[in-house]
Amino acid sequence: MQKIHQIKYKNKKIKIYWCKLNDCFAVYDPNYYTLHIRNDLNNKDLAKTIYHELWHIIAVINKKEIIKIGEEKTAELAEEFYTLFKQNPKLRKFLNDLY
């Protein structure tokens, strides 16, 4: 699998670093627009982690406070994209083909 090294969203570029993280799967730093992702995750955990971090990126850049719904609810909701797309490969392909 080829790893990505940057995400563009609106007028921001988020640099991605694949590294060893002991206490979490990933960390987004909005001050530096960096995302550190643990480099030893299985595909399922990696997908869920990326959805979770994208949720953070979208919220921060759009000035929405995740604290109002909490980190746990953020994780629960964002990670459901994994389940949704896993159960609907035609939807996943359809969305991918839109690009």
Domain ranges across the chain: 6-97
CATH 3.40.30 fits 6-97, yes or no: no
pLDDT of residue 34: 98
pLDDT of residue 65: 80
Q: Cβ atoms within 10 A of the Cβ of 74, count?
A: 17
At residue 24, does pLDDT exceed 80? yes
Yes or no: say if 18 and 42 are a contact pair by the CB < 8 Å rule.
Answer: no
pLDDT of residue 10: 93
At residue 87, does pLDDT exceed 80? yes
Give me the long-range contacts of 71-78 (CB less than 8 A, separation at least 24): 78/48, 78/51, 78/52, 78/54
